[in-house]
Structure 1
Amino acid sequence: MPNSAAAALKNGLLLMRPAAVIASSVVIIFSGVYPLFADPAVPTDRVLTAAALLLVGCLLIHGLLTHALNDYTDYRSGTDERSPALLSGGSRVIQNGRISPEALGRFGFGLTAVLLIGAGVLAAMGQIRLAVLLVIGIWGAVSYSAAPLRLSYVPFAGEWLSTFPSTFALGLGGAWLLLDDLPLWAVQNAWINAMYCISWVMVHHIPDLEADRGASPVKRTSVVWAADRFGPAFARLPAVVYFALIGVSALWFAGTGRTLAAGIVLAAAALSVYWLARVDVQDAAAVTACEKKMLLTAMILAIGLGIFH
């Protein structure tokens, strides 16, 4: 393989941050698609095709587009320069001189244009649902980081208006593409997995608290908002509230007969709150260790909900 191709592949993998994509996207697809293999009304080849399309979409959007635009925006605001860069601080492809800021910006906006054209082609071919899923994913990536919206810089907006719709649609995607009516298990799984995603993203922002405060413009995440309003110890507050909502959702699962799934949901929420309550939010290494446990929990949770549907 030529050196340029090898370098491009390595840069792409660094930019993609595979661990985060697997924990926040790939397992969400599994959670929403695996139960469909047990549905005799849906041919296996159609399930595999839907899963493959969702996987390609999540790698392009959640892996490359989201991180390219986020790295570009956070470089320009200066927050990544000040980040402790353990799991936070972006992919570091700019800081390590692997890709120039201008090239990364061109890549991100160019990929946005290509994907929008792809969505238009799909719509013209009558693949409306697939086109809608693609547009929701593009919206999540672009609105989260790119000006003028840059919703990740606005308290509560980034997670609720960008990340949640994108991950929730990804979780529902398989059932929506293949079934006439959305089954309750699909909605429940998509809800929990999307909620857990935005919860650990809030933990992900904790080590960046001072870097985000020092950015220009200030990256006023929900974590920064909580710490500024209530004190540094409350940087964990947004994540705790979101984990609590997940725990309460276990009642919904139990009420619909999904007792084992309810137990998995409750255990994941309780463990996450326990870990977060004990961590020193001013110790970046400790928060990173906590986040790693949450990434593993996100995977177990999504897989468990898919199996015990």
Structure 2
Amino acid sequence: MRLFPTLTWVGVTTFVGVSIAAKHSSWASLDYWAVFLVLNSGIVCHGLLAHSANDYVDWNTGTDRNSPGLFSGGSRVIPEGYLAFDSMWNGMGVASLLGLILMALLYLRIGSQALLGGAIAVFAALFYSLPPLMLAYHPVVAEWLAVVPALVACGWLANVSASGGQPLEAGDWLPMFITALVLVGHLMFHHLSDIEADLTATPPKFTTPAYFAALKWDPRYVPASYWLLVVALSIFTRMYVLGIACTIATAISLSVNLSHRRLLAQIDQVLLLGISVAIIIEILY
């Protein structure tokens, strides 16, 4: 698994959900053991289950064999010789077992809400890559049927776990949705360096940026469009720090040279850190 993106995605999403719960009560009253279970469940689901499934399928179709792998192109455990191709199923099995244990403990803590959140996360982790759906191989649907629901579910589960099962108010969903959009923008930027490898896979991996490239459109517009949507929402929600951060991210996305892949990798890490800090600032203040 790629440690920094995994910890950042899961950590930020969990933090948003927990912070919303704290605003309705207090930080001292939250159930931190339940939050700990949610955080570790997210790491297992995103870092182990989803990556094992993704590595297996992407190596099988050929996209990871041709990817430069600087910051995308799977976790690189197969090409670097750490694990064999067939052992990815073992990775999925171990991740599933760990996930079941964590979900069982969370169920004992908060009840059936753990099952709903876990089901959404597992569906996204597996069918983002695995047949018959292979959502990652189809433009747009991967984001909206897997990534966004999983991120919102993670934030919601963190919220109800921290608050002891208190239902969310209508306005509480918007910060979690905006957080999901910000991270989807990062995922789209993440895909930019793999476009050539994705298009030569069998079947072609039509991530949304790759699909734009296949249509001779500029793939840099894809991450930029998600971040611009966040900018618009930030005006409505008065999340001005996040709006400024996503404006900068949009400008960077539109100006990068896709042939400079090593620079893309460095920019990717800086962007993820920057937008994550902006989210945390908005939620805290």
The alignment's TM-score, normalised by the length of structure 2, stands at 0.90
Counterpart residue identity of residue 16, structure 2: S
Distance in 1 (alpha carbons) for counterparts of 2:271 and 2:186:
7
Question: Contact conserved, 1:144 with 1:162, CA < 8 A, in 2?
Answer: yes
Q: Which residue of 2 aligns with 1:282?
A: 259
Residue deviations 1:164-217, cap 9 Å, x none? 110111122232342533135531221111101111111111100110011111
Question: Contact conserved, 2:37 with 2:106, CA < 8 A, in 1?
Answer: no
1:31 is displaced (CA, Å) by 1.9
Question: Contact conserved, 2:242 with 2:278, CA < 8 A, in 1?
Answer: yes
Counterpart residue identity of residue 88, structure 1: S
Distance in 1 (alpha carbons) for counterparts of 2:54 and 2:84:
14
Counterpart residue identity of residue 3, structure 2: P
Residue deviations 1:47-77, cap 9 Å, x none? x123212111111101111111111111111
Distance in 1 (alpha carbons) for counterparts of 2:169 and 2:220:
34
Distance in 1 (alpha carbons) for counterparts of 2:110 and 2:3:
32
Structure number with larger C-alpha Rg: 1
Q: Aligned pair 1:88/2:65, yes or no?
A: no
Counterpart residue identity of residue 199, structure 1: G
Distance in 1 (alpha carbons) for counterparts of 2:104 and 2:114:
10
Alignment of 1:64-143 (within 5 A): 64-109=48-93, 111-112=95-96, 115=99, 127-143=111-127
Distance in 2 (alpha carbons) for counterparts of 1:61 and 1:150:
17
Stretch moving more, 281-290 or 174-183: 174-183
Q: Which residue of 2 aligns with 1:259?
A: none
Q: Which residue of 2 aligns with 1:27?
A: 12
Residue deviations 1:107-141, cap 9 Å, x none? 21453366468758976998110111111110110
Q: Which residue of 1 aligns with 2:215?
A: 229
Q: Aligned pair 1:207/2:207, yes or no?
A: no
Residue deviations 1:124-161, cap 9 Å, x none? 99811011111111011011011111100001111111
Question: Contact conserved, 1:264 with 1:301, CA < 8 A, in 2?
Answer: yes
Question: Contact conserved, 2:37 with 2:102, CA < 8 A, in 1?
Answer: no
Distance in 2 (alpha carbons) for counterparts of 1:202 and 1:40:
36
Distance in 2 (alpha carbons) for counterparts of 1:209 and 1:19:
22
Counterpart among 262, 265, 268 of residue 245 in structure 2: 268
Distance in 1 (alpha carbons) for counterparts of 2:97 and 2:33:
25
Residue deviations 1:58-104, cap 9 Å, x none? 11101111111111111111111111111111111111111111111
Alignment of 1:56-71 (within 5 A): 56-71=40-55
Q: Aligned pair 1:293/2:270, yes or no?
A: yes
Distance in 2 (alpha carbons) for counterparts of 1:66 and 1:264:
31
Distance in 2 (alpha carbons) for counterparts of 1:114 and 1:45:
24
Specify whether residues 40 and 89 from structure 1 end up closer, same or farther in structure 2 by C-alpha distance, changes over 3 A only. Answer: closer
RMSD: 2.3
Counterpart residue identity of residue 215, structure 1: A
Distance in 2 (alpha carbons) for counterparts of 1:90 and 1:151:
16
Counterpart residue identity of residue 49, structure 1: W
Question: Contact conserved, 1:65 with 1:108, CA < 8 A, in 2?
Answer: yes
Distance in 2 (alpha carbons) for counterparts of 1:206 and 1:265:
23
1:251 is displaced (CA, Å) by 2.6
Q: Aligned pair 1:152/2:136, yes or no?
A: yes
Question: Contact conserved, 2:192 with 2:209, CA < 8 A, in 1?
Answer: yes
Identity over aligned pairs, percent: 25
The alignment's TM-score, normalised by the length of structure 1, stands at 0.84
Counterpart residue identity of residue 229, structure 1: L
Count of matched residue pairs:
283
Question: Contact conserved, 2:192 with 2:219, CA < 8 A, in 1?
Answer: yes
